Structure 1
């Protein structure tokens, strides 16, 4: 009996923000996986260890959470005035599916360091000491991200004293600029696809909810925590251990996706798990984070909780943070109201692991809202590098 050998593929396992994933250079993938399609999806699922009915990812690199079931493909820039292309795949845990519909804001912070370390950025643009600005084309959504990466002695600086709630150890700070983050490619080409800052979202069998539906960073449906029976201080256990609550959130997500023009029917939501996100917000209040850290109401502008891949996120997705910052800057949205109303160019919100500050400046032009960029700080670090192995009969 013959047995298939294992393929040996160069890869780097990286943390970016509060997520981690397996990074590849496009040129290092097997030929069949260098183009989009079933072969690529099959490879990435096998790398992560999906689909796994046990929900553990024991036979793969995934961590069986939405934050750790991720793959990234980096290649030479296809767009002028950019350094690299960045393609992100969210791998489903228990179904045979890779969602390519959105970006990962957290892993965006690891793209610049990976690109520099792998020679994809012109060495002339990398200082011996200082900051290297890496111009990234986010290929999933067709947007530009600029990562400001610290450099020490000609190498990416990974260690430092920047602390990010949701990450245990400090590291070097990487500032990210998400340029023109409104997702004009979907939902009718507007930041607010329904044309309203607040809508009544009807979810048959569940209820009617006030909702702000926005395309910025990632398509997101914002709800009021009180309307759902929550305070906004909830941690993961309060949501993820409640099957009825998770089913309600998924119904809201599916019907919201239809209202946003992302899908034609609620039945299509199962094949689009990564987007849109559902989040709920509340006015600032004190609470104890998942690490035991006490968060004072005076230290934040509002509370925010978000679900990713049908589970409450342990911290906050980077792209959802962009959506929060953008919505907070626009008077009248549910996020802005939760933050106290008025005009603002930055907001600090409380999430399950602590706090996060994000800046955004919105403008109204000819009656339409637009935002030029959103800014936040993250950190990134190489966890392991070498080769990942998968059975050759995967492809």
Structure 2
């Protein structure tokens, strides 16, 4: 524990980054009780004493094309936060994910003599691999969540620490379905003992729901046509997203047996038998919860055209990337049709040996990621802060 005053700058761009940032702040406070944490962060980071200069939501934009409409605002925010840290120099600056925003900021601050770290590797191993040279210029330390990422950086001589994933520490190795349903208040009625509960997670952002909302609701309608006992749970992050989802349901399937639940997406997934979800961090949560899943994603045609030509990795879903094989179905763009999605869901609602084998694969990966990540990340950052400290 160090009593010396420490200033730590951070920028997180979305919900997953807020979770990681909060865990890291908590562990760093144990080592530096007098530390000041500031920059851009979300509610969980703020709860740990973080001061945010810009609402984190302003950085949450999906897709290459969609960013263009907000480009000048994002440039302005980055310029403002860069100047702030140049005028109020932190002992270390940590960019948490959001690489298109944070890496340029890190490179600029590092050139000014400020130590920098990046928490959560960009998917540089999957596409635009030449970004690793920019990363080497931008960071003194890369903190990776997955072991295959650390190997990539070592091969390119970038200082790196594999810390594991905080979600693997937070989520127990077993997540009983009944306990989750009790937490959600689903102990009575048709859902209580059902073995046909499907969680629908089209994403937390307006753009994701724009592309996947109608497809997911139409998929649910087709599932129930084949399996009348099916029930659906759908979590939403705020009232705006709830209204967006309700409008789709009323228009396409007003009689659908679907329960909307505010927040609690992890409990919703744990309470389900099968999960239909957008590609992203939620696929990791679903894997850690040991639930069969079907992964879907859609984006603008132009964004898809560009990404398809830049992609190097054979998979997009984290369970498949971690296993280096197709553990779960990935249905992207035109393949993500209600017909294809409903067929995959119905297959996984049937209990069989394939689901048991999948559960064992998920458990092995969970154990490999369970590394006490926030503590290991804090140790690595502390070494960076205290190196040559006077």
Give yes or no for TM over 0.5: no
Question: Comparing both structures, which one devotes a greater share of its residues to strand?
Answer: 1
TM-score by length of 1: 0.30
TM-score, normalisation: structure 2: 0.30
RCO higher in structure (CA 8 A, sep ≥6): 1
* Greater fraction helix: 2
